[in-house]
Amino acid sequence: MTRRWIALSVVFAALAAVAAPAHAAPSEPSATSREAAPARAASPNIELAQRPRKPLPGKPPAGAPKESVEADVSSRTIAVTSGFTGTEIVVFGSVVNSRQTSAEAGYYDVVVVLEAMATPLLARRKSNVAGLWVNTTSVGFEGAPSYYAIVSTRPIEEIADEDLLERHAIGLDFVRLAPAARSAIETQASDLKAFKEAVVRLKQKEGLYIKADYGVIFIGQSLFRSSITLPANVPVGPLTARVYLFREGELLSTFSSRVKFEREGIELWLYRFAMRQPVLYGLFAVFVAVAAGLIASTVFRRRDAA
Amino acid sequence: MTLTATKRVSAYSMHIYLPIAEMSANVLLFLGMGCAVGFLSGLFGVGGGFLMTPLLIFSGIPTAVAVGTGAAQIVAASVSGAVAQYRRNNVDIKMGVVLLAGGVVGSVIGVKMVRILRMAGQFDLFVALAYVTFLGVIGTLMLIESASAIQAARSGAPRARRQPGQHSWIHKLPFKMRFHRSKLYISALPPLMIGAFVGFLGAIMGAGGGFIMVPAMIYLLRVPTNVVVGTSLFQIVFVSAVTTVMQASENYSVDVVLALLLIVSGVVGAQYGAAAGARLKGEQLRLLLAALVLLVCIRIGWDLVVTPPELFSITTSLGAPE
């Protein structure tokens, strides 16, 4: 009897999954905990930033050594194994020749951008055709970073002007999205803008484009750190961490570092197998399926008979 | 200098990374899904592909990966049944081979079609339309049939048997073959075409196609009922195997890790389902299955007609080699 009840409850669980709306479906329990992390990191500074800022000391005296930024990442290699559920990358560094009196002074602004390689991407828009929602228009992008995280000491709009941010591709509004040549000619400028915004919006929804306005924290006169979430659905590939040091809207120094983000162990083996020898991999999949099907049914039947 | 930051490691890490789908999947969710679909397939004696693929898509697996992996799962789900039927001499090998020949052609065309539709951005739409059409038609027919059967059983009146239709056009076709096991002497063309059609659908929908194959064999080809299930399973195993290899090589969309999760739980679920099914009457089972089929049909159709909250969608070049 109990067996039947277990089985029936499983069926109901499946039906509930069918009934759930599709866009809400990929709800992994870990997703919330992952998203919560940067918010937690940011919270101590929110209070700080809302406080009126202290008047900044005037221009540095002529001849004073110029400030620069040095930084590194907590792990230069991130391995994707079968247990990979995303990770957190700590980007930390210090301001060389810092003139900041304390961590709270707010004398400098630091922006950290963690970005994945640009890959081709196709955005589509649905419209209603004879009562059905059908993909009708599309815009191809030659390259869009598959992952883009930006953390800063305060909202980037307050840190520097748009031209500077755009030049360095800092911020979700200025992610480098180059439309493919054909799409650039065929699409109207206003449409192109809508498509670009849609790409950023959808990527944000997937947790692949991340923004944390108060995610960089100064720990002392010169030391700062930030913690950036790298969710499990980030396409595997090399990452670049770029660190920008600003003061009063002026870019003082930049620093960049690479993070290896690659498959390891069985994940690497399976992926290479599937991509390099697809026919053999297909045969392997059939073999696995046949073996698993036969083994599972015999094992189960034997237990049932016993 | 190293900076030591406290790392939060979740205590219940029941996740596994899917190498082809490129996402971390909740093991329990997919095991439960496999179990549930396995239970239903055991209960109703169907392959379950038509339930599995939509469920995978709803749970966030890319459509192409769901369809490709579905093919591998069907191989596993059908193979033990096919072997058992073969031992009982319930497989018409000759008929199976003819169906298979058609099936391979259909599958090749279907897999190419998947590729073309994916490039055109219409694959998801096509899959949804195919599901709505076939599940709608078959669900409605089954609902009517089983409801009238239940009513007839209740009133006690003898049910009007279906009149055997005169399929004279089938007998006029050329290339006649003798199928000893099925006691048939018919043209090879209808089984070839049925096989091709089912193979094509299997590649597009990620379903074995038993729900089309079985009625087609019974009503169109007039194959004796005892041979139908075995022969259809025989054909489904091989066509799904070919489809799996094709999906892997053309679309890079077969995820072995995901397939394995679904296979193992599916086989276990099917055993419970078969045990539960033995306690229900045939027409009650068919009515339940019809309701389930229509439910899935409506659920998929809903997304097509209701204004989506987000009109845009993005796709990366999933499946392209490095």
What percentage of chain A reaches a pLDDT higher than 90?
25
What is chain A's mean pLDDT, rounded? 78
Question: How large is the average pLDDT for residues A218-227?
Answer: 90
Which of A80, A282, A288 is the closest to B260 by Cβ? A288
Yes or no, beta carbons of A278 and B252 under 8 Å apart: yes
Q: What pLDDT digit, counting tens, does each position of A229-274 carry?
A: 998 888 888 999 999 999 888 899 999 899 998 888 888 888 889 8
Question: What integer is the mean pLDDT of B224-239?
Answer: 83
Confidence of residue B176 (pLDDT cuts 50, 70, 90): confident
The answer to whether residue B93 scores a pLDDT higher than 50 is: yes
Instruction: Please tell me the predicted confidence (pLDDT) of residue B169.
Output: 65
Measured between beta carbons, the chain A residues lying within 8 angstroms of B55 are 14, 17-18
pLDDT band at residue A286 under the 50/70/90 scheme:
very high
Q: Which of B69, B78, B247, B312 to mutate to test the interface with A (most CBs of A within 10 A)?
A: B312
**What predicted TM-score, i.e. pTM, was given to this entire model?**
0.73
Distance CA B193, CA B221 (A): 11
pLDDT for residue A17 is more than 70: no
- For residues B278 and A150, the model is more confident at A150
pLDDT value for B157? 58
A29-57 tens-digit pLDDT: 333 333 333 333 333 333 333 444 444 45
CB contact under 8 A, A289 and B312: no
Residue B175 distance to chain A (closest CA, Å): 33
Secondary structure of residue A62 in the 3-state scheme: coil
| DSSP 8-state symbol, A235 | P
Q: Do A131 and B39 touch (CB under 8 A)?
A: no
CB pairs under 8 A between A and B: 260
Q: Which residue of B has its CA nearest to A18?
A: B55
Averaged pLDDT, B285-311: 86
Which residue in the set B3, B37, B299 is minimally distant from A14, CB to CB? B37
Q: How far is B106 from chain A (nearest CA, A)?
A: 18
The two beta strands, A216-218 and A239-247, are: unpaired
Interface of B with A in 11-40 (CB under 8 A): 13, 15-17, 19-20, 22-24, 26, 32-33, 35-37, 39-40
Is the model more confident about B33 or about B303?
A: B33
For residues A57-85, average pLDDT: 78
Q: In angstroms, what separates the C-alpha of B288 from chain A's closest C-alpha? A: 13
Structure tokens at A284: 């392997």
Percent of chain B with pLDDT over 70: 89
How does residue A59 score in pLDDT terms, banded at 50, 70 and 90?
low
Taking the CA of residue A282 and the nearest CA in chain B, the distance in Å comes to 4
Q: Quote the tokens at residue B295.
A: 């439910």
- Specify the higher pLDDT residue, B58 or B34: B34
What is the number of other CB atoms lying within 10 angstroms of the CB of residue A212?
A: 21
Task: Give the dihedral sign, CA B60/B63/B69/B75.
Answer: positive
Q: Is the pLDDT reported for residue A6 higher than 70?
A: no
Question: Does the structural domain A29-50+66-263 have CATH classification 2.60.40.2550?
Answer: yes
Residue B17: closest C-alpha in chain A: A82
pLDDT at B292 over 80: yes
Establish if B191 touches chain A: CB-CB under 8 angstroms.
no
Bigger pLDDT: A9 vs A198: A198
**C-alpha to C-alpha distance for A285 and A279, rounded to whole angstroms:** 10
- C-beta atoms of B23 and A236 within 8 A: no
Question: Lowest-confidence range among A18-32, A186-200, A245-259, B258-272?
Answer: A18-32
Confidence label for A5 from pLDDT (cuts 50, 70 and 90)? low
Predicted pLDDT of residue B127: 85
pLDDT beyond 80 at A63 = no
C-alpha A36/C-alpha A34 separation (Å) is 5
Q: Average pLDDT for residues B194-204, to the nearest whole number?
A: 87
Q: How high is the pLDDT of residue B272?
A: 85
Over residues A73-80, mean pLDDT? 87
Residue B206 touches partner A, C-beta closer than 8 Å: no
Q: A230 to chain B, minimum CA–CA distance in Å?
A: 12
Q: Between the ranges A7-21, A173-187, A236-250, B88-102, where is the mean pLDDT highest?
A: A236-250
Q: Kindly list the residues from chain B whose CB atom is less than 8 angstroms away from the CB atom of residue A134.
A: 122, 125
A26 pLDDT band, cuts 50/70/90, is: very low
Q: For B128-160, what is each residue's pLDDT tens digit?
A: 888 899 889 888 988 888 888 888 877 765 554
* Closest-CA residue to B5 (of A42, A92, A33): A92
Cβ neighbours, 10 Å, residue B204: 23
Report which of residues A240 and A17 the model is more confident about.
A240
Residue B192, pLDDT > 70, answer yes
How far apart CA A170 and CA B124 sit, in angstroms, is 35
Of A26, A120, A125, the CB nearest to B312: A125
Instruction: Supply the DSSP symbol for B161.
Output: P
Residues of chain B neighbouring A33 (CB-CB closer than 8 A): 8, 10
Copy the structure tokens of residue B200: 């094509």
Task: Supply the mean pLDDT for chain B.
Answer: 80
- Check: CB of residue B253 under 8 Å from CB of residue B19: no
Q: Looking at residue B78, what is its pLDDT?
A: 85
The alpha carbon dihedral of B106, B110, B112, B116 has a sign of positive
pLDDT at residue A152 greater than cutoff 50: yes
Q: How far apart are CA A168 and CA A165, in angstroms?
A: 5
